[in-house]
Structure 1
């Protein structure tokens, strides 16, 4: 039937959008439709919308929209925090109202009425911890400790002063233009938390992502078991096979069962699909940040390394071109050599493979998985060694 096909298409489209948004910048997707979808989701849609407003309503309306955008995206505000609380509260309310009637059921015991509430409460607690904890603000009274804790690597970090705070800028820190403060081991500013993600609250942010993925997975499986229990208790399969003569096979029964569920339990089905779709970006974000944590890298440093490698690659290309030109010029003035060897030498000097292998990401902060994980769970500034008496001033 058409309904199962529509649900499958919806899931595939949601998966494609999630992969495109989260992974569209990866090198393996360069020049593909995933990279183009990523651009459309992150930049293109906004640009087209603003051009449309400019053409249709003029400059005044465009400026008004930009002012609202500035307040919502470029200044601290609780809008997304309120939206998060509304989403999780309303989702739990609809789940409780539509599904708790059937708990306990054939597959679920009554304990899930209370474990679900506890799981949501833990999720909100992690949200509050991430939102209102200090991300690792660098101030005049602790800058010397951060300078000692995070030495400069002389590659992407060199000694400099923050032009806004007027204090030395420790390695791995960044001045957040939204919060207007320097943050140690800065990763990014999260609008959902209305807070920076930095040295002191990365652990809470990671726990938030993992817990909410598990929460969505728990809700999806629980609602699925509720629906499976209703199928069993109402003997739907027996009725379909005996009274309607439908073949007792998964392929034959599936369309009719889906149709019956959408007619009788459409709210539960929609909630289950919603939770499954939300789980996809959550697990993608958690996987991305888990990889960063295990390599002791931040989102901010990822872009810095990309700029550094691109700059070094262009420099190597320029050097290779200059060396090839000198070789050709010297070949002209010296005795004639076989032209084939000159071309081979030229290609040997300028092959992209050779150039790529000479540009190496040397992350001095990566000290092994265990040490990197330990640094996230127990940040430098929470340790006893992080004190003025034991660390030298920067």
Structure 2
């Protein structure tokens, strides 16, 4: 009976974790096309749509208008909701670690110093969070637009010379007007709700440091809790008791189920924390890897969608030209009376001309790994040459 209750608690914790991860991270590129994305869609759109209909039936138009006002504030305007959620998550996680793990430190494998390093690691994570949230992402204004126009030339593919309809100034290449922040951002990547800020030319380095540090922080927490549990097994001589008093064979295969059962019964809170940190570390690893690849190729999240649209359009244009040429050739072939008809087998196995259509992505901003990383760590607008260009234009 006790064992069944323990497994019910574990299953409940895993389901809760799945819901939280799906809600918070389901829109990440690594989950595209997975069941986590579908759960995220239901939690953020499907369930809300049903709720809105119920509110409309019960409260009428006033209730619907009030709900839409709340939606506008939460989704279309800058707000600190996700920032508060982040602080609540990291604060609650640290609190439960202090309450349930610190009492076993120092232990068999961990020394007293890990109490301090844990606090410092969390403090550095919050510092990076604040730095990313409140740093200038690279706002384009009338004073620096000419410098950004020189720094990022138009590629005449996904970026053409045009005016921002809101700011009424020329839009530098790689920039975008954020509808939430209501400003143009140079080298715009995306608007991050967690930071309540845009990620752009000047703060991508802080954002990447935030992701990397929190990944390492979760790995550190996972390993530290695992070492605490391993230390408790060692200190309480669990293996010795199982083999000597219960006659269990001294092998990993025989002992593992019993040791896990004992840990679940005695340290279920610590195990749930360890599983939570391990899963979040995997999520952060995927998200960091995705953005690291963008940095290495000097591409932004915004540009990945632009390139997909551009390449799709160019592919359709090429296919239309090839189809027109093939149609013209077939018509001219029909008009030629002396032409020998093509074998049906040869026509069946002949490669389609549409398969020869190839559209190549030509990213003029990709100048090699070292240069691309240098541009992330030392943004163009922070270099002396940027200020000198400003003084010359002035």
Tell me whether the two structures share a fold, i.e. TM-score over 0.5: yes
TM-score (norm 1): 0.88
1:145-201 Cα deviation digits (max 9, x unpaired) = 000000101110010111101111000000000000000000000000000000000
Aligned to 1:22: 29
Contact 1:295 1:372 in 2 (8 A): yes
> Where do residues 350-365 of structure 1 align in structure 2 (5 Å cutoff)?
350-351=354-355, 354-355=356-357, 358-365=358-365
The answer as to whether partners of 1:186 and 1:300 remain within 8 angstroms in 2 is yes
Select which of 87, 90, 93 maps to 1:88.
Answer: 90
Deviation at 1:14, TM superposition (A): 5.5
SS at match of 2:273: helix
Q: Find the residue that maps to 2:164 and give its secondary structure.
A: coil
Please, which of 75, 78, 84 is the counterpart of residue 76 of structure 1?
A: 78
| Cα distance in 2 between the residues matched to 1:318 and 1:331 | 20
Change (3 A) 1:90 1:378: same
**1:319 Cα deviation after fit:** 1.2
Structure 1 residues 87 and 291: CA distance shift in structure 2, 3 A: same
Provide the C-alpha distance between the structure 1 equivalents of 2:392 and 2:329, rounded to a whole number of angstroms: 51
Deviations 1:177-234 (A, max 9, x none): 0000000000000000000000000000000000000000000100110110010000
Work out whether 1:367 is the aligned partner of 2:367. Answer: yes
Matches of 2:323 and 2:42, distance apart in 1: 36
1:240 alignment partner in structure 2: 242
Contact 1:150/1:170 (8 A) holds in 2: yes
Hey, what does 1:29 align to over in structure 2? none
Q: 2:251 aligns with which of 242, 249, 252?
A: 249
Residue in 1 aligned with 2:269?
267
Q: Within 1, Cα distance between the matches of 2:41 and 2:208?
A: 26
- How big is the shift at 1:371? 0.2
Structure 1: distance between partners of 2:46 and 2:74: 19
Instruction: Please identify, of 266-275 and 338-347, the stretch whose mean Cα deviation from structure 2 is larger.
Output: 338-347
Task: Find the residue that maps to 2:385 and give its secondary structure.
Answer: coil
Contact 2:138 2:185 in 1 (8 A): yes
Offset of residue 248 of structure 1: 1.7
Kept after mapping to 2: 8 A contact 1:21/1:42 = no
Question: Taking structure 2 as the reference length, what is the TM-score of the superposition?
Answer: 0.88
- SS of equivalent to 1:58: helix
Deviations 1:3-42 (A, max 9, x none): 79977x959x9699679953344xxxxxxxxx26365245
Is the alpha carbon distance of 1:56 and 1:20 closer, same or farther for their aligned partners in structure 2, counting shifts above 3 Å? Answer: closer
Partner of 1:385: 385
Structure 2 gaps of 5+ residues are: none
Residue 96 of structure 1 and its aligned partner are, at CA, apart by 1.2
Q: 1:272 to 1:338 in 2, by over 3 A?
A: same
Cα 1:345–1:241, aligned 2, differ >3 Å: closer, same or farther?
Answer: closer
Query: How far, CA to CA, are the matches of 2:282 and 2:181 in structure 1?
Result: 29
Aligned to 2:170: 168
Are 2:101 and 2:225, in contact at CA under 8 Å, matched by a contact in 1? yes
Unaligned runs of 5+ in 1: 26-34
Give the match's secondary structure for 1:189: strand
After TM superposition, the structure 1 = structure 2 runs for residues 44-193 of structure 1, keeping only pairs within 5 Å, are 45-58=43-56, 60=61, 61-193=63-195
Q: CA 1:392 to 1:150, structure 2 compared with 1: closer, same or farther past 3 Å?
A: farther
How many aligned positions are there? 379
1:108/1:225 contact within 8 Å kept? yes
The alpha-carbon deviation at position 390 of structure 1 amounts to: 6.3
Question: Any idea what SS the aligned residue of 1:303 has?
Answer: helix
